[in-house]
């Protein structure tokens, strides 16, 4: 017998005259609408201040497709040479047991794999035409004078006026030593090296555009201090080239940014001052100039436990009062920021000094955050390659004009035993496809596109790109 439940609420609602809608139908319609809205927001992105809606094309340029092939590497730890007596084993230093230890071991049999010798150097002035324009990540890279390029922890500026690329970085051509027993390996400050190029492969040394201070020990850039990760942007309003860098003392306790300025991309840059931005410690850092001309400083802070981001003044010579904390508690450094179709992306490293570690990609709708962490962008090589950012650390991501969605990922393969011999790892980076880590607040749909960095032993930019851009 069916009993009528007098406490049961009616499940039908009167929608409009003469029509009756059931409650589940309404709920499902609502869910459907929300899903449709969500899908719509996935394919559409707001662009510009005008707020016009653009179809989101995730597919980068077809010319870049061949660079998206997965290239494997088979590097194994070599077996020990002969049998060792337990007594001899005790006397000898411990044999490396992981590829990372092998990488850090100066006497490793694999040294030539990570740091190939000068015989294999990339020599743009000498290399025969069929070797032309090939990048060989990790090999010595010579400038047009035949000297190894010295632009570590660097970044690239494209100068519209001269229609040239300028690569700035730490000029580290000096002896490596430890300031004291526990200190990290270092090279005295020499200055910021600058190289120019039209093709991103042949680099002419333009000199040391910001030089160390030799005598005044109280100067920020006294050679006994630290100058790292210089980046340069151009200010349209003032017509000046502005350089931001990490300045520190040998123990990394000053933790400040330094600012320098020049009328020309090839310097000389005048050093202005240093400061703790927003009153906080600042170590690894970068600057990013947005499409609307507003530039931002992004830096590791609170003892590298989080990052801070804030806009610069219109003249780019200082920060404003606006600052946001991002990636809180994630302990990331070496930030490299770029933008694609209205979304901001960032690659960071973990904090293990000169030793390599796993890169992570992050994305955000606003540069001020909130930033989402998407996972490791590295593809190919082998597992250890991917877990160590191909034995390197991020420093910059360069957009390739005319190839939307295609970028060059620039990283440093540090050589702590001889820092001047640190190598460059440049690899193709693309944005497209769904990110690996689904984000729960979005109905399980991955909101962001995947950032992918592809390992290649040898690769070059599409020929037609070069033809157009030279």
- For residues 77 and 100, which CB has a smaller minimum distance to ligand GAL in the complex? 100
- For residues 332 and 456, which CB has a smaller minimum distance to ligand GAL in the complex? 332
**Interactions with ligand GAL, residue window 360-399 (CB under 6 A):** 393
- Does 102 engage in binding with ligand GAL (CB under 6 A)? no
Smallest gap from residue 354 Cβ to ligand GAL (A): 5
The only residue of 113, 272, 351, 434 in contact with ligand GAL, by rule CB under 6 A: 351
Q: Which two tokens stand for residue 170?
A: 């730490």
Site string for ligand GAL, 109-148 (x = CB under 6 A): ----------------------------------------
- For residues 169 and 381, which CB has a smaller minimum distance to ligand GAL in the complex? 169
Cβ contacts of residue 271 below 8 Å, gap of 6+?
Answer: 210, 220, 221, 258, 259, 260
Q: How far is CA 362 from the centre of its chain?
A: 10
Q: Which two tokens stand for residue 457?
A: 């032993």
- Does 228 engage in binding with ligand GAL (CB under 6 A)? yes
Nearest alpha carbon to residue 274 among 301, 297, 298, 247: 247
Smallest gap from residue 422 Cβ to ligand GAL (A): 10
- Does 353 engage in binding with ligand GAL (CB under 6 A)? yes
**Interactions with ligand GAL, residue window 273-302 (CB under 6 A):** 284
- Does 153 engage in binding with ligand GAL (CB under 6 A)? yes
Phi, psi values for residue 303, rounded to 5°: 55, 45
Query: Got the DSSP string for 155-194?
Result: EEEEETTTTEEEEEEEE--S--EESSTTSPEE----EEEE
Per CB under 6 A, which region of 18-26, 92-100, 137-145, 349-357 contacts ligand GAL?
349-357
- For residues 252 and 280, which CB has a smaller minimum distance to ligand GAL in the complex? 252
Smallest gap from residue 174 Cβ to ligand GAL (A): 15
Smallest gap from residue 437 Cβ to ligand GAL (A): 24
- For residues 264 and 352, which CB has a smaller minimum distance to ligand GAL in the complex? 352
- For residues 149 and 187, which CB has a smaller minimum distance to ligand GAL in the complex? 187
Smallest gap from residue 111 Cβ to ligand GAL (A): 21
Q: Contact, 187 vs 197, CB < 8 A?
A: no
Helix (H) or strand (E) holding 465: helix 463-469
Smallest gap from residue 350 Cβ to ligand GAL (A): 9
The only residue of 287, 334, 392, 453 in contact with ligand GAL, by rule CB under 6 A: 334
* N-terminal to C-terminal alpha carbon distance within the chain: 87
Half-sphere exposure of 348 (CA within 13 A, CB side): 29
Number of residues that bind ligand GAL (CB under 6 A): 11
Rounding to the nearest 10 degrees, give the CA dihedral for residues 379, 380, 382, 387. Answer: -20
Nearest alpha carbon to residue 396 among 373, 378, 412: 412
- For residues 350 and 462, which CB has a smaller minimum distance to ligand GAL in the complex? 350
The only residue of 77, 184, 368, 417 in contact with ligand GAL, by rule CB under 6 A: 184
Phi, psi values for residue 243, rounded to 5°: -110, 130
Q: State the DSSP code for 137.
A: T
The only residue of 191, 333, 403, 465 in contact with ligand GAL, by rule CB under 6 A: 333
Classify 68 as helix, strand or coil: helix
Smallest gap from residue 351 Cβ to ligand GAL (A): 6
- Burial class from Cβ neighbours inside 10 Å (0-12, 13-18, 19+) for residue 307 reads buried
Smallest gap from residue 186 Cβ to ligand GAL (A): 8
Per CB under 6 A, which region of 48-56, 285-293, 351-359, 366-374 contacts ligand GAL?
351-359
Angle among Cα 341, 290, 307 to the nearest 5 degrees reads 100
Neighbouring CB atoms inside 10 A of 252's CB total 17
- Write out the residues near ligand GAL by the rule CB under 6 A: 153, 184, 228-229, 284, 333-334, 351, 353-354, 393
């Amino acid at each position: 017998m069916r009993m009528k439940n007098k406490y049961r609420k009616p499940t039908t609602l009167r929608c409009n005259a003469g029509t009756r809608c059931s409650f589940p139908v309404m709920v499902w319609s609502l869910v459907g609408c929300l899903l449709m809205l969500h899908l719509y927001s996935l394919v559409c992105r707001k662009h510009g201040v005008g707020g016009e809606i653009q179809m989101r094309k995730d597919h980068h340029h077809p010319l870049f497709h061949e660079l998206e092939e997965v290239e494997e590497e088979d590097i194994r730890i070599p077996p020990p040479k002969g049998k060792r007596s337990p007594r001899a084993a005790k006397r000898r230093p411990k044999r490396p047991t992981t590829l990372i230890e092998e990488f850090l071991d100066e006497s490793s049999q694999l040294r030539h794999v990570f740091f190939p010798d000068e015989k294999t150097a990339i020599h743009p002035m000498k290399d025969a035409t069929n070797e032309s324009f090939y990048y060989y990540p990790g090999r010595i890279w010579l400038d047009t004078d035949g000297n190894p390029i010295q632009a570590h922890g660097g970044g690239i500026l494209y100068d519209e006026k001269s229609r040239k690329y300028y690569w700035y970085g730490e000029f580290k051509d000096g002896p490596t030593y430890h300031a004291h027993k526990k200190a990290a390996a270092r090279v005295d400050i020499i200055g910021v090296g600058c190289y120019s190029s039209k093709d991103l492969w042949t680099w002419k040394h333009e000199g040391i555009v910001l030089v160390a201070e030799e005598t005044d020990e109280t100067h920020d850039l006294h050679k006994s201090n630290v100058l790292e990760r210089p980046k340069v942007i151009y200010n349209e309003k003032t017509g000046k080239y502005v350089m931001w860098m990490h300045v520190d003392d040998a123990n990394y306790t000053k933790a400040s940014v330094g600012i320098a300025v020049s009328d020309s991309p090839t310097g000389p840059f005048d050093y202005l001052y240093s400061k703790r931005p927003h009153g906080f410690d600042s170590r690894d850092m970068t600057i990013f100039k947005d499409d609307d001309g507003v530039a931002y400083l992004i830096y590791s802070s609170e003892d590298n436990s989080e990052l801070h981001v804030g806009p610069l003044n219109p003249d780019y010579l200082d920060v404003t009062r606006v600052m946001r904390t991002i990636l809180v508690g994630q302990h990331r450094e070496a930030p490299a920021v770029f933008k694609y179709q209205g979304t901001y992306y960032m690659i960071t490293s973990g904090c293990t000094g000169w030793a390599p570690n796993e890169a992570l990609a992050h994305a955000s709708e606003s540069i001020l955050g909130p930033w989402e962490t998407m996972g490791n962008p590295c593809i190919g090589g082998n597992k250890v390659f991917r877990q160590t950012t191909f034995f390197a650390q991020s420093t910059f991501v360069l957009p390739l004009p005319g190839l939307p969605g295609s970028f060059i990922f620039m990283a440093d393969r540090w050589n702590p035993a001889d820092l001047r011999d640190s190598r460059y790892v440049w690899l193709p980076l693309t944005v497209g496809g769904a990110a690996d880590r689904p984000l729960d607040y979005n109905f399980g749909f991955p909101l962001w596109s995947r950032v992918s960095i592809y390992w290649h032993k040898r690769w070059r930019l599409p020929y037609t790109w070069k033809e157009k851009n030279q």
